[in-house]
Amino acid sequence: MNATATLAPGLPDGVHDSQQAFRAALDALARPGQVRHIGPALPGVVLGGALARLLLSLSDDETPVWWRSTDDNLPQWLRFHTGAPVAERPDAASFAVLTDLAHLSALSDFAPGSAASPELSCTLLIELPALTGGPTLEWHGPGIARVQRVGLQGLPDGFWPQWQANHAAFPQGLDIIFTCGDEALGLPRTTRVRRLEGV
């Protein structure tokens, strides 16, 4: 059987669903740490609803997507619907899909953009087990009135020191959208993160 045998459909209502997801992504990055609802999972797609919808809304034929897994079905599904090519190396990607937290790549593997064009950086889409209930951190920065308390679950220990380095490189740096099921939460490069307990 050829590979098109498992191809899943895309957004049910291409125009409006992608506009909604795009708006939610803008909101998520403008108000870091606030949870945004994106939409339910798509039939036949193993990704969470928010992650799948963001990919379909944001990627196109000029944005290579890096996939952690070697499963061929998802890249093919995205390519069919948006034309997004697969990035061979993490630093060539415009978007990176990270669903396996045990093997989370180092943030420095991805392209931070250049000083002249910081917008050419990579945006990470990371699927977490939950967006609340984890160790509480204080987020500060543009888009946050005073302080935003966020408790992301499932991130490895080495993640936040890497994030500090990413924040320090401003205007270069990565932006992250964390997703969980139908919901998403933004962490742009401008956000400073401080631990409440411990370090």
x/- contact string, 76-105, with another protein (CB under 8 A)?
----xx------------------------
| Rounded Cα distance, 123 and 110, in Å | 9
Give me the least distance between CB of 46 and another protein, in Å please: 16
145 binds another protein (CB under 8 A): no
75 binds another protein (CB under 8 A): no
Report in angstroms the alpha-carbon separations of 157 from 29, 33, 51, 55, 77. Answer: 23, 19, 23, 27, 33
Phi, psi of 4 (to 5 degrees): -75, -5
Q: Which stretch binds another protein (CB under 8 A): 6-14, 29-37, 88-96, 178-186?
A: 6-14
Give me the least distance between CB of 43 and another protein, in Å please: 9
5 binds another protein (CB under 8 A): yes
4 binds another protein (CB under 8 A): yes
User: Residue 55: in which H helix or E strand, if any?
Assistant: helix 49-58
With CA atoms as reference, report the closest residue to 31 among 194, 170, 185: 185
Which positions lie near another protein, rule CB under 8 A?
1-5, 7-10, 14, 80-81
